[in-house]
C-alpha cells in the first residue's frame, strides 16, 4: 500500500533517473558545494543515502538549520534553572532532553534529580496540561524556526483568550533568513569556505514563502532552490542548482511548488506578527550574536513571557572548548574533522548539540553515514 504524496517522492527508480541526469549535467572540472540549510534535509540526505547517488564533485554541506543545535548553552542552563523551581512544570519537545548545558547538565539529568519536566509533541499538549493542573506553573520551552513559531503564537493567543493564568513560554524562536545571511557574511565564507548555492528549507518556506531568500541571490549572488522534504525532491533540486551554476543564472527557484508559494502562509505570518517581535540580537551556538535573528514576546503578551514572569537572568554558558560544533554548523568542517567525533562525543555521550539532535550534522553522520569515513580512509 503506498502512501500518497510521500512514497512517490521516495521512489528509488526516480533516484536513478536523477542521479544519471546530475552526472550528465556536472562539468567534470568544477566543484559544486551546496548547503542544505534545514536539519530535516540533513536528516533526509543521510537517511536515504543520497551522498552515494551524487558524483564526487558535488558536495553537500550541512547548514545550521537545526534549532536544537543552534540553541546556546546558556539558554539550556536557563531552562534547567527554571525547571528546578518546585512550582514549575517545564514542557519540552523530546529532542531537548539530552542537549548538554554547562558542566554536563541536561534536562534529562534535572528530571532524574526530581524536576517536573514533561515531553510533549505539541504546544496543544502543554496547554492541556496547564488547564488540567491549575496549581502548576506550566512553561513551554519554545524553540525552532518559522515552522514551530506559528504554533507557539497560537498557543499564547489561546491561553490569553481563555485567561489561562498559569501558562507561559520560554521563547527561543529564531529566523531563517537572518541565519542564512550570517553564514554568507561569515569570515569563513569570505575566506574561501565557499557555498555555491542553497537547498532552501521545505516547511519553513511554506510559512515564509520564497520572497525572503531573494537577498541571497541579489546581494550575495548565491542561487537558492526551495526544496521539498523527500529524497526525490532533493535530487531534483540539486539538479536545478547545478543547472543554475552552469548557465550562470542566480535565482531563487521553487522546487516545492506543491506546498510553497512566493508569499507563504499569510495566516501563520499574521499570528507570528501579532505575538512576537524581533530581538535586537540573539546568540546562536557556533555563529555568535546575530542581529535581529531571534524573537521575543511583545509587551502586550508579557504575562505569557517566562523570561519576564520569572525574572530570568541571562546566563552565558560555556561550550566545551574542544567541541567544534561552531565550524560544523557553519559548514567549514565535516563531523569527522572534529577530534571529539566518535571518541568522546557520540550520541550516547554528546559533547555538543550537533550530536544530540537527530537533525544535527554529527548525529546524522554518526547514525547513518560514518561507515563512509572508513571507506574514505582506506581508499
Partner 1 sequence: MSVRTHRGLDLRNGRIDLSHGSGGRAMAQLIADIFHAALDNPWLRRGNDQAAFEVAAGRMVMTTDAYVVSPLFFPGGDIGSLAVHGTINDVAVGGARPLYLSASFIIEEGFPLADLKRIADSMGAAARGAGVPVVTGDTKVVERGKADGVFITTTGVGVLPAGLDLSAEKARPGDRVILSGTIGDHGVAIMSKRQNLSFETDLVSDSAPLHDLAAAMVDAGREGLRVMRDPTRGGLAATLNELAHQARIGFRLSEEAVPVKPEVAGACELLGLDPLHVANEGKLVAVVSPQAVGPVLAAMRAHPLGRDASIIGEAIEDDHSFVQMTTAFGGGRMVDWLSGEQLPRIC
Partner 2 sequence: MNALLPDGMARVTLSGVAMDISVALVEEVQVGDYVIVHVGYALARIDPEEAERTLALMQEGGVIPPSEAAEACP
Using alpha carbons, select from 87, 151, 98, 86 the residue that is nearest to residue 125: 151
Return the ∠ at Cα 358 (arms to 175 and 349), rounded to 5°: 115
Q: Is 3 among the residues that bind partner 2 (CB under 8 A)?
A: yes
DSSP state of 281: E
220 CB-contact burial (10 Å; exposed 0-12 / middle 13-18 / buried 19+): middle
Contacts with partner 1 by CB under 8 A: the residue count is 38
Looking at 255, 293, 357, 358, which residue binds partner 2 (CB under 8 A)?
255
Q: Is 122 among the residues that bind partner 2 (CB under 8 A)?
A: yes
Helix (H) or strand (E) holding 60: strand 58-65
Which CA distances in Å does 156 have to 141, 144, 186, 275? 13, 16, 35, 8
Q: Name the residue nearer to partner 1 (CB basis): 16 or 314.
A: 16
Interacting stretch for partner 1, rule CB under 8 A, among 57-65, 212-220, 302-310, 360-368? 360-368
Looking at 92, 123, 166, 176, which residue binds partner 2 (CB under 8 A)?
123
Using alpha carbons, select from 215, 214, 242, 238 the residue that is nearest to residue 228: 238
258 CB-contact burial (10 Å; exposed 0-12 / middle 13-18 / buried 19+): exposed
The cell numbers describing 109, all together, are 539529568
Task: Please give the sequence-ordered ranges of beta strands (E in DSSP) within 243-287, or none if there are none.
Answer: 252-254, 276-278, 281-284
Query: Binding to partner 2 (CB under 8 A): which residues in 149-208?
Result: 150-151, 154, 203, 206-207
Q: Name the residue nearer to partner 2 (CB basis): 240 or 340.
A: 240
Using alpha carbons, select from 169, 172, 175, 215 the residue that is nearest to residue 308: 169
Question: x/- contact string, 202-231, with partner 1 (CB under 8 A)?
Answer: -----------------------------x
Looking at 124, 165, 300, 374, which residue binds partner 2 (CB under 8 A)?
124
Query: Binding to partner 1 (CB under 8 A): which residues in 231-250?
Result: 231
**Could you say which of partner 2, partner 1, none residue 303 binds, taking C-beta under 5 to 8 angstroms by partner kind?**
none
Asked if 256 and 202 count as a contact pair (C-beta separation under 8 A), the reply is yes
Alpha-carbon distance of 173 to 358, in angstroms, equals 19
Question: x/- contact string, 204-243, with partner 2 (CB under 8 A)?
Answer: --xx--xx-xx--xx--x---x--x---x---x--xx--x
Positions touching partner 2 (CB under 8 A) are 1, 3-5, 8-9, 14, 17-18, 20-21, 93, 121-125, 147-148, 150-151, 154, 203, 206-207, 210-211, 213-214, 217-218, 221, 225, 228, 232, 236, 239-240, 243-244, 247, 249-255, 257-260, 262, 265, 267-268, 271
Positions touching partner 1 (CB under 8 A) are 1, 3, 6, 10-12, 15-16, 19, 46-53, 97-98, 108, 118-121, 125, 231, 346-348, 358, 363, 366-371, 374
Amino acid at each position: 500500500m503506498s502512501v500518497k504524496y510521500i512514497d512517490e517522492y521516495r521512489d528509488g527508480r526516480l533516484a536513478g533517473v536523477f542521479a544519471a541526469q546530475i552526472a550528465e549535467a556536472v562539468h567534470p572540472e568544477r566543484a559544486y558545494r551546496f548547503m542544505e540549510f534545514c536539519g530535516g534535509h540533513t536528516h533526509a540526505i543521510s537517511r536515504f543515502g543520497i551522498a552515494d547517488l551524487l558524483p564526487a564533485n558535488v558536495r553537500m554541506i550541512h547548514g545550521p538549520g537545526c534549532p536544537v543545535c543552534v540553541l546556546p548553552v546558556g539558554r539550556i542552563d536557563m531552562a534547567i534553572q527554571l525547571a528546578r523551581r518546585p512550582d514549575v512544570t517545564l514542557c519540552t519537545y523530546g529532542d531537548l532532553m539530552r542537549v548538554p548545558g554547562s558542566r554536563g547538565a541536561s534536562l534529562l539529568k534535572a528530571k532524574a534529580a526530581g524536576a517536573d519536566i514533561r515531553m510533549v509533541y505539541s504546544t496543544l499538549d502543554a496547554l492541556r496540561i496547564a488547564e488540567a493542573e491549575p496549581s502548576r506553573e506550566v512553561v513551554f520551552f519554545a524553540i525552532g524556526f518559522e515552522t514551530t513559531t506559528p504554533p507557539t503564537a497560537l498557543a499564547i493567543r489561546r491561553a490569553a483568550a481563555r485567561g489561562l493564568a498559569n501558562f507561559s513560554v520560554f521563547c527561543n524562536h529564531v529566523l531563517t533568513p537572518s541565519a542564512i545571511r550570517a553564514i554568507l557574511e561569515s569570515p569563513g565564507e569570505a575566506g574561501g569556505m565557499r557555498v555555491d548555492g542553497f537547498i532552501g528549507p521545505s516547511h519553513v518556506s511554506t510559512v515564509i514563502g520564497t520572497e525572503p531568500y531573494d537577498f541571497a541571490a541579489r546581494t550575495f549572488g548565491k542561487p537558492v532552490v526551495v526544496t521539498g522534504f523527500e529524497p526525490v525532491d532533493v535530487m531534483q533540486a540539486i539538479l536545478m542548482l547545478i543547472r543554475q551554476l552552469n548557465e550562470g543564472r542566480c535565482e531563487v527557484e521553487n522546487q516545492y511548488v506543491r506546498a510553497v508559494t512566493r508569499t507563504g502562509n499569510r495566516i501563520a505570518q499574521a499570528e507570528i506578527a501579532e505575538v512576537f517581535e524581533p530581538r535586537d540580537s540573539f546568540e546562536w551556538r557556533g555563529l555568535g550574536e546575530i542581529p535581529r535573528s531571534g524573537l521575543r514576546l511583545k509587551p502586550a503578551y508579557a504575562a505569557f513571557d517566562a523570561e519576564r514572569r520569572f525574572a530570568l537572568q541571562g546566563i552565558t554558558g560555556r561550550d566545551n572548548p574542544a567541541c567544534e560544533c561552531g565550524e560544523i554548523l557553519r559548514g567549514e568542517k565535516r563531523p569527522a574533522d572534529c577530534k571529539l567525533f566518535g571518541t568522546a562525543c557520540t550520541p550516547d555521550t554528546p559533547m555538543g548539540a550537533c550530536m544530540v539532535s537527530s537533525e544535527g550534522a554529527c548525529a546524522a553522520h554518526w547514525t547513518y553515514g560514518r561507515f563512509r569515513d572508513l571507506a574514505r580512509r582506506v581508499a
